[in-house]
Chains A and B, each alone.
Chain A
Amino acid sequence: MSWLTPLFGGIVLAVVVPSLVALYFLRLRRTERAIPSTMLWKRSVEDVRANAPFQRLRMNLLLLLQILLLVLLGIALMQPRLDSGDLRDGRTVLLIDRSASMNVPDADESGRTRLELAKEAAIERIEALHSGGLFGSGAEIMVIGFSDDPAIRTPFTDSQQAAIDAVEGIEPTDGRSLIGPALELARAYTTVVDPDAQSGPGETPAALELWSDGRVADLPDQVLKVGETLEYHQIGNPDTANVGIASLAAERPYDQPGRIQVFVAVENPDPAATAVDLQLAVDGVVRSITPKPVEVPAAREEPGIGLIPGRRQISFTPIEQSSGAVIEVSILGEDGLASDNVAALVVPPSKRLRVALVGDRRPVLRSLLEGMPLESLQIFTPSMFQQMVQDRELEDWDVVILADADLDVDTLPPGRYLSFGSAPPMESLDPFGEPATGVLVRRTRDGHPVMRMVNLDDLYVGSLEKLVLGTGVSVIVESGDGPMVMEVDRGPVRMIHVAFDPLDSNWPYLRSFVNFTANAIEYLGTSGDALTMRSGQPGGPLTVRLPGGATDARVTPPDGESTPLTIDSSGDVSWGPARHTGLHEFSWVMPGDSERRTRLIAVNQFDRDERLVASAESVAIGTERLQGRVVRASGTRWQDLWPWMLAAALALSVVEWVLWQRQVGAG
C-alpha cells in the first residue's frame, strides 16, 4: 500500500474530523423533552462529564459513523494504492532492455514475451513512482530503450502519460544487449551545465532501474558513479533453455563452382546437453534435414574464462546450385529464442572472372593465373593498358592486375585492381623515402576475405615501398616499416595493393601467395560480395554498392515496410541499423530497365550473449552484484483504492442515514 497525496488527505482529516466533533457538540440535533426538573439530570451529566469527558462520544454510534465516513473520505483523498513499491522523489531512469533475448515468450503462462512484461511492469512502476495523481507534482522519469544502441524514448519528464507513452513505444529488436551507451546517454541528461558555476558541470545522479533478463553483455564493465543506484528488475525464467545457430557459411568448391557447400555451427549455452534437428533450405525449398538429431554438448564453466557453450559444427552435403540462392538453415523444434534458430545466407551465382594482367615480366604470377578457373586471362603491356584507358575499354575486365607496372597515367580509371610493387598513381598512396629492406610481417587482419587461408609468418620481404596513406585506405598487412598490403576504396576505384614486388621476397615460394592472389581476385571480382560477406548482424548498418547509373534505391526489411534510400557519390546505399533478423531486400532501377534489380542481404543473430536466454537472478556491475527483483506477470496494474474508499464512504453514509432516521423516529 502506498499513498499518492498523504499530506493533503492528512490536512483535510486534521481539519474536518475535529470540526465534525465540535459541530456535533455545538449543533447536535436533540429531541426536546419536558421533564419535572432538570436538577437531577444536570447533576448526573456533570458527574459523567467529570468522570469521562468523551462519554457521550464513546457511545454515540452516529458520530462514530460520521467520523468513520470522514476518515474514509480523507483516506480517499490520500489516494491509496495497492502495494508495489516505494515512491521516490527525484529523477529515475528506466532502462528497458529490448534486445533479442527479451523476445523469449516465457514471461508468463500466457506466452507473453519478456519485453511485453517489462513494458507492463515498467508502466506500473511509472504509476508507482509518479505521484502525479490528482494533486502531486510527480517524479521526473526518463525512459531509455536499449539493445545495440540506446534510444531515449523520453527525456526527464514529470508527465506520467508521456513516460507511459514512451514505454509503450518501445519496439522489440533482435540486437545485442549493450547498456554502456545507454548509461552514457542517461548521465548526459543528469549533468547540469551552469555557465556561472566555477566548479564546472554538476551532476544530479539519478536512480537507475534496469528492466532486463540480466543478459547484458557489457554490464560487468560498467561502474556506478557516486550517488547513482541501480535496481535490477529481473524478467523471465531462469530455467529457459535455448540452442542457437552460432555461424553459417557457404562456399563453392574450387573445382566445382556449380555446387555449394554449407557449414553451420550450433551452440548450447545451457548446462544440459541437447539434441536438435537441422534443416537446410534453398530459396525456400527444403533440400536437406540431418538424418538424426545433432547432439550438442552442454556448456561448462571454466575458471577464469567463464561459461563456454557447448558447440557442434556440421557441414551439409554439397548441393548443386549454379545460380544465386538464399541458403537458410533452421533448427527444428522450439526453444527459448526463435531468432537464432534460423540463419540465412545469400549466395551469388557461380561466376568465372575475366582478368587482365598488366606487365608481362611476371612469369610466376602469370602461371598462377593460368592455373585458375577464369573466364579469360589476357596479358597487356603498360603501353597497351594506357591505350585501353584512353579508349575506355576497361569495362570488359572484372579485375585488372598491375604487376609492378610503370604507368604513365595521371590517375587510374574506375575499376578493380590488384596491384603489386610500386604504387599506382593515386592520391591516397604517396610513396616516400627509401624502400625498407629486410621486412617482416608484424600484424595481419585475419578476418579480411583476402586473408582466408593465408599465413604470412614466413614471409620475408627484401624491399618494401614506404607509403603515406590517404583517405579510403585500410591496412590489411602491416610491418614494422609500414603497410605491406592495403585495400583502397576510392569510390569507383577499388584496389588491393601489395607494396612490394613478390620477386623481392620469398612469397612466390609460399602457399600463401597462391591463396592470397586467388582470394583477392575473387574478392575484387565479386565486388567485395564474397559468400560469407553476404550477411549482417542486427544493430549494424547494411551497405550495398550499386552499379553506376542506378536510381530510385529502396530497402525492404523483413517487416515489409519499404524505405527509399539515398545513393551517395560512390554509388553506395546504406541503411540501418538493422533491427531484426531475416532477409533485407535492396532494389534499384537501372536506366532503360523496366524492372527493378534486387540484391538480398541476410541479417543473422549469432551473438553468444543473446543466445544465453536463461534469466539472470543477479547481475554484476563493476564489483557490485545486484540481486534481481523478480517481476511476475501479475496482470494487474496499480490499483487505485480511492474509488473503493469513496464507495465505502457512500455506503456508510446510507447506514448513518438509516440509523439517524430510526433514532429520530424512536425519539
Chain B
Amino acid sequence: MSRYLISGGRVVDPASGRDGHADVLIAEGVVAGVAERIDAPDAERIDASGAVVAPAFVDMHAHLREPGREDEETIASASAAAACGGYSAICAMPNTDPVADSASVVEKVWRAGRAVGLVEVVAAGALSRNLEGHKLADLGEMAMSPARVRLFTDDGNGVQNSLLARRAMEYLAGFDAIYAEHCEDAALAAGGQMHEGERASVLGLRGIPAEAEEIMAARDIALAKLTGCRLHLLHVSTAGTVELVRRAKAEGAAVTAEATPHHFTLTDAALDGYDPNAKVNPPLRTGADRAAIVAGLADGTIDAIATDHAPHAPEEKDQELTYAPPGIAGLETALGLTITELVAPGHLTLMQAVARLASTPASILGLDGHGGPLAPGAPANVVVFDPHGSVTVDPARWASTARNTPFAGRVLTGRVLHTFFGGSETARDGAPLGAAVDA
C-alpha cells in the first residue's frame, strides 16, 4: 500500500480542533503522523501548500439508484462521484427497486459498496414496508445485519400515519438508531411543483406550502420527545423548520438536521425559466428561507450539509416541468457550493464548513474512522481541497452518470484536489482513480 506525504497544507480538523499548517503522513491505510514537519523520503509527496487538508466528507443523504435504476446511477458511479466530491462515506437512501426494507437488500447495497471500494457506502433502511407508510419494515433485522443500518427513513415520502411514526421511533430507540424524516404532509403538498408563493402564482404552477414541511417537523419533534428516539430531519427547506429545530435543541430533544447545497444556494426564482433541473423536493423556497438555512448552518442548528444527490437520466429531465421527476445530482458540486455560498461570504468559517460536511454527519451516523480526528492510527479518510481554486461546473465531465444540475456553467470557488479513502487515493482533481481498497 502506498505512502503519501501531504505537505504544507492547512489542516482543518474539527474533531481535534486543529487548525494550522502541518504535514500529514498516510501509511498502511492510516494516518501515520500529523506534525509541523515530517520527513518521509519514500512516500509520494503531495504538495498541499495553499490547500486545506481535512477529514474526507460524509454525505448523510444520497440516492444511488441501485438496485433498480442502474440507467440513472450505480453504486459504482455514485461512489466515483462521491470520491471526486471529496467524500469517504455516503449514506444510500432506501427508495430503490426493490426498496431497502429488509436485511437482504441493505446487505446487498453495503457489500456492493465495499466491492467498489471508493467510499464507504452506508445503507439506510426504509421505515415502512415498500415505503408505503402502512407497516413497519424489518427495522431490527436491518439494524443487526452486517450492514449495521443506523438511519431509517421513508425518504421520498413523509410518514403520513402518526401512529406508524410513533411506533417506528419507539422501536428504533431500542437500537439507538435514527428516525429520519422527509417532512411533507402529502395532502398539503399534493400535485405541487414548486414552493407555494408569489412565484408559483405567476408561473401558474401548483405550490407546496412551507407548512407541509413544518407541520410534520413539529409532529416528529413532539414524537421524538415522547419516545426518546433520535430524530433527524432530512433536507430542511424552510425558515419555520429551522426555528422548530432550534427550539427543540434548546429544549434538549435528540434532534439533528441537514440542509442541502441547493437549498442554501437557490430560491424559487430558479424556476422562472421552467428549468426541470431546478425542480426538487422539498422545493427551493424564498430568499428568507434560504437566509434562515444559512443562519442555521452557521449557529449549528443545522448539523450537516447533505447533498440529497438525486441522479436522473437526461430523457427524464428533458420533459415538461410537470412531468419531470424532482431532484438534483449534487455529489460533485457540494464543496464548491459550500465554499462559494457559505465560506467566501463569511457565513461559516472553514472549520465550521468541514464540521458540517464531515465530522458532524460522521458522528450522527456513528461512523468510526470518518470525519476525523486526523490522529495517528485513525483510518486515512482525508480530503485535500483548494479553498480558493475555481471550477466551472461541467456535468459532462462528472463521474456520476447523471447530468441533472441547475448549476451547469456556474463558476464555483473550492476545488477538491485529492481524496483518500482508507489510505488509498480515490480521486485526483475531479477524476476518480480506480484503485480499490480491501473490502
A and B part of one assembly: no
